Structure 1
Amino acid sequence: MDISTFDNFDLLIVIILLILILLSAFFSSSETSLMAINQIKLDNAEEKGSISAKRVNSLRAKITEVLGVILIGNNLVNISASALLTYYIISKFGDQYVWAGTLILTIVVIIFAEIAPKNYATKQPESIAYPASRPLEILTNIIGWFAKILTSIGNLITGTNSDENYFSQNLNRDELKSVLQKDTEQVDEDEMIALKSLLELNELTVEDILIPIQEVISININDENIKSIPEKDIFFPVFDETSQDILGFIHSKEADQLQALGSSAKDILISPYYVPESTSLFAQLKQFQKTGNEIGMVVDEYGNFTGIVTLEDLIEQIIGRLNQEEKDPSMLINDDLSVTADGSTTIRELNTYMSWDLPEDGQKTISGLITDELDMIPTANICITLGSYKLETLGIEDNLIKEVKVSRVSEDSTDII
């Protein structure tokens, strides 16, 4: 064995082997990048006019065929490298050193043609997939038919079908919400919350956000001395005491005109608009948009008036309170991190306000949660522990729980005090 001489033939073999290893790295990294690239980012890049992104999407649309082409190319260059090195070792040193060449080539291929390029492609898929898309497109056009034949044979052996394109499946609502749960530095946190809230509009109903009838301030059109109206930018239902019918709605800024107008007061009222309490918030938002209404009377399945819902309530459900400087009057955080809230406060509002997880699948309000747990309306203040939360009534009036103090405790039990 003579290794002292290194002629042009040796140099040619080394160059060819390096080229084959680079080609193997190209095929390995291309395969990984096509599988790892983010579809949402890819679609966004294509919409912005990226030709490379469009090519990558085209390749992913026929991923089975493309993977077949990549496997053909990768195996071809790896086998060629092995055969060339074996021929070179036998001709140069004899067949007793073939095992050494095989071992060295295996280590080189694993490190430089598999692990390193695939790791890089996993972390930077766009930097590999975009430039690789053009040669892969050409190769697919040339030998794609052969890859299809080999894939069909493989499918016959395994009894599988590779026609499905796994990258074109649409996300359902739950999957999209999971995507929005991911932290990202590119999207503002408030925007993420608004997007998630928007997706939840179909899961919530008008009943979840209505203003209960007990809290609705209404105006008697026949009242000669209309009491002072709160200075708020809201609507009030106007009723006829004689018939107890709701005649319509009036804005707080126009309420003082009712007495002056007398019998023609009905002309300035907004006609009643009835909303079933089972209507989804998304459907109701579309209805407000279609009809131009900003307020609706909520009725139950028997036609009974149960409260009102406004366009403002729906918008706040998506983006939060419109007047951030105005504190929520129904909830107050105490020094011990407990919350004093109106009994009519919804459990969902409290959970959102405090990032808690009180059960929302049953009763809608805090008072409803307490009465449901007790199976009765308490006649005196009471304290219960529900799971990891303590609920203490602070005021009961006319069979209604007016105020509740809610705090988080460590134990997981249900006790009544």
Structure 2
Amino acid sequence: MNDVPISILFGVLAGLIVLSGFFSSSETGMMSINRYRLKHAANKGEKSAMRVMHLLARPDRLIGVILIGNNLVNNIAAALTTIICIRLYGEGYVLLASTVLTIVVLIFAEVTPKTIAALHPERVAYPFSWVLLPLLKLFYPLVLVVNYLSNSLARIFGVDPDKASKQDHLAPEELRTVVDEAGDLIPDQHQGMLLNVLDLEKSVVEDIMIPRNEVVGLDLNADMESLIELIRSTDYTRLPVYEGDINNVIGTLHLKHASRFLTGDDSTVTHASIRRFTRKPYFVHEGTPLSNQLLNFQKEKSRMGIVVDEYGEVQGLVTLEDLLEEIVGDFTTNTAEDKHEDITEQEDGSYLIDGSTSIRDINKLLDWNLPTEGPKTLNGLAVEFLQSIPDGVICFQLAGYVFEVTKLNEKMIEKARVAPIKQ
């Protein structure tokens, strides 16, 4: 080594620093690359992306070969620096030379390369994979030994490297964050729809159903004149058909079929003619998640379901339109379904709300945070808190809101004035 010109030794040292920078940036670039963008590129057939995915399939081996190369290069550089220093200045300056080398490596082989790789991981990972893959094959036996020892040590601390390498999926809440942070990539309207789709798992049919007391249907025990008047005046397209009590549902009538028995004189219309065009009812359990119910509507080729509880009692109706509105927002112009009529803003900033109004609708329209666990309506929430139906006008605070009962009857709170408590 004493016969080698100093210039060559400096050249080799510079090359080792470059190699150290290569390994440092490789590690950061490979670990920082967006896995989903990488997977998309690989699915399009990009060879570089496929090569990087192959390397990242076993990150322990990839890190092993990078660190073996990096430590080998740095150790040789340190030894070479010592030789150069002794030849030029003697042994007294070895410590100073090591300090200078540390600063040079830190700036040119660590911080700068890693910063570039972190900012542009694809530009680093794709071309560098051409070198890392052959290196992995070359040092494969050594990598296996190093990984075996390091993985064994990791298991002592309760970490399983084999399972950790497969955890490359997003949880629903993490996916929400991805959609929220999409920015200009996804229009605001589409972004909201995607978030609403994710929220379908959190809601059940009971949350969006038309409650039993608001269901408009045809009672075959009623006189024919009132039934015909209801068919002609209703704002709904489909009506449940029952006998005497809504629990005795026999089916649903689509009004497009009504024209078949309403032609001619009304006296010719009979209960039997309505029954003939009534479709078999489709029953839905009130606890069915909305994501499942959307698929069930598709499977059953139905647009309306009769909601029942665990005892088979009818609780209300759910329609495909109501479910789709949970995703795309309100799109109906049907005045019978206008939720805004039940919520009226007052001059003092409070809101006069009908007791049967859904808590989810209140939160959505007013951007409030009334509790949705438990009762589904404003009346149910207030009665549960009071533990009884009040005897008269009463005020109380609940979940950061002031409630003032303004109208009630023996069965329920009909109206209440509600306002958030001012901080």
TM-score by length of 1: 0.87
Q: What is the alpha-carbon distance in structure 2 between the residues aligned to residue 217 and residue 341 of structure 1?
A: 22
Aligned to 2:129: 133
Q: What is the alpha-carbon distance in structure 1 between the residues aligned to residue 358 and residue 246 of structure 2?
A: 32
Aligned to 2:42: 46
Q: What is the alpha-carbon distance in structure 2 between the residues aligned to residue 183 and residue 335 of structure 1?
A: 39
Q: Which of 276, 289, 292 matches 2:298?
A: 289
Q: Which of 47, 69, 78 matches 1:82?
A: 78
Aligned to 2:117: 121
Distance change >3 Å, CA 361–CA 223, structure 1 → 2: same
Q: Which of 20, 35, 53 matches 1:24?
A: 20
The residue type equivalent to 1:224 in the other structure is M
Q: What is the alpha-carbon distance in structure 2 between the residues aligned to residue 242 and residue 67 of structure 1?
A: 71
Q: Deviations over 1:171-211 (max 9, x none)?
A: 34344344444453312233333223223323322111111
Q: Which of 302, 308, 311 matches 2:311?
A: 302
Instruction: Note if 1:107 corresponds to 2:100.
Output: no
Q: What is the alpha-carbon distance in structure 1 between the residues aligned to residue 348 and residue 37 of structure 2?
A: 45
Secondary structure of the equivalent of 1:410?
coil
Farther-moved stretch of structure 1 (71-80 vs 9-18): 9-18
Q: What is the alpha-carbon distance in structure 1 between the residues aligned to residue 339 and residue 153 of structure 2?
A: 66
Q: What is the alpha-carbon distance in structure 2 between the residues aligned to residue 284 and residue 271 of structure 1?
A: 18
Instruction: Note if 1:249 corresponds to 2:258.
Output: no
Q: Deviations over 1:252-303 (max 9, x none)?
A: 5555755554232222222211112122222222221111111111111121
Gap runs ≥5 in structure 1:
1-7, 412-417
Q: Deviations over 1:88-126 (max 9, x none)?
A: 121122222222221111001111211122222222222
Instruction: Note if 1:237 corresponds to 2:240.
Output: yes
2:85–2:94 contact (8 Å) kept in structure 1: yes
Aligned to 2:339: 328
Aligned to 2:383: 371
Fraction of identical pairs, as percent:
36
Aligned to 2:274: 265
Q: What is the alpha-carbon distance in structure 1 between the residues aligned to residue 411 and residue 246 of structure 2?
A: 26
Secondary structure of the equivalent of 1:364?
coil
Aligned to 2:360: 348
2:27–2:63 contact (8 Å) kept in structure 1: yes
Q: Any residues of structure 2 matched to 1:160-239 within 5 Å, and which?
A: 160=156, 161-166=160-165, 168-221=167-220, 222-226=222-226, 227-228=229-230, 230=233, 232-239=235-242
The residue type equivalent to 1:268 in the other structure is F
1:235–1:251 contact (8 Å) kept in structure 2: yes
Aligned to 2:149: 153
Farther-moved stretch of structure 1 (229-238 vs 111-120): 229-238
Aligned to 1:386: 398
Q: How many residues align?
A: 404
Q: What is the alpha-carbon distance in structure 2 between the residues aligned to residue 254 and residue 396 of structure 1?
A: 41
1:61–1:168 contact (8 Å) kept in structure 2: no
TM-score by length of 2: 0.86
Secondary structure of the equivalent of 1:91?
helix
1:63–1:165 contact (8 Å) kept in structure 2: no
Secondary structure of the equivalent of 2:373?
coil
Q: Deviations over 1:355-393 (max 9, x none)?
A: 322111121111110111111123434332113112233
2:355–2:414 contact (8 Å) kept in structure 1: yes
Aligned to 1:401: 413
Q: What is the alpha-carbon distance in structure 2 between the residues aligned to residue 165 and residue 302 of structure 1?
A: 46
2:371–2:399 contact (8 Å) kept in structure 1: no
Aligned to 2:62: 66
Q: What is the alpha-carbon distance in structure 1 between the residues aligned to residue 415 and residue 258 of structure 2?
A: 30
Q: What is the alpha-carbon distance in structure 1 between the residues aligned to residue 181 and residue 313 of structure 2?
A: 43
1:385–1:391 contact (8 Å) kept in structure 2: yes
Q: What is the alpha-carbon distance in structure 2 between the residues aligned to residue 355 and residue 49 of structure 1?
A: 46
